[in-house]
Amino acid sequence: MEEFKTNWTREELKAYILLYCAYANFIETKAEKDFIKSKVGEEEYRHIHKEFDQDNDYQRIQKIQNTVARYNYSKNEIDILFENIKKMFLADGSIDILEENIYRGLQHLLK
């Protein structure tokens, strides 16, 4: 089985996770895009978006899971990450069912 290792920085990981969440309902709104850029910067956003666009859903999950494990995130860091995910979901006004499902799935994988 292929391993999906990355050499991402923590900021790139954050950008990738937020992008993954933004695409939960298959639409990245301007509000979500602006939120992600506010958290990681324009350059990091563009850089990681190129990789994100080339990956399929399985690769995305594997990369997120492996990179979080590599950084050995503490419970507090995971909690902060999920606070940012929730804020990103709310950036366009509400959390829809697809976003809620992604949120729960990531909680299961990362907590």
Task: State residue 2's pLDDT score.
Answer: 64
Render pLDDT for 2-40 as a digit per residue (tens, 0 to 9): 678 899 999 999 999 999 999 998 989 999 999 999 999
pTM, whole model, 2 decimals? 0.93
What distance in Å separates the CA atoms of residue 7 and residue 81, rounded to the nearest whole number? 19
CA distance 103 to 44: 23
Per-residue model confidence as pLDDT tens digits over 45-100: 999 999 999 999 999 999 999 999 999 999 999 999 999 999 999 998 889 999 99
Q: What is the pLDDT of residue 94?
A: 87
Given a contact cutoff of 8 angstroms between Cβ atoms, the answer to whether 83 and 111 are in contact is no
Residue 89 in contact with residue 99, Cβ under 8 Å?
A: yes
Domain ranges of the chain: 10-110
Helix/strand/coil for 7: coil
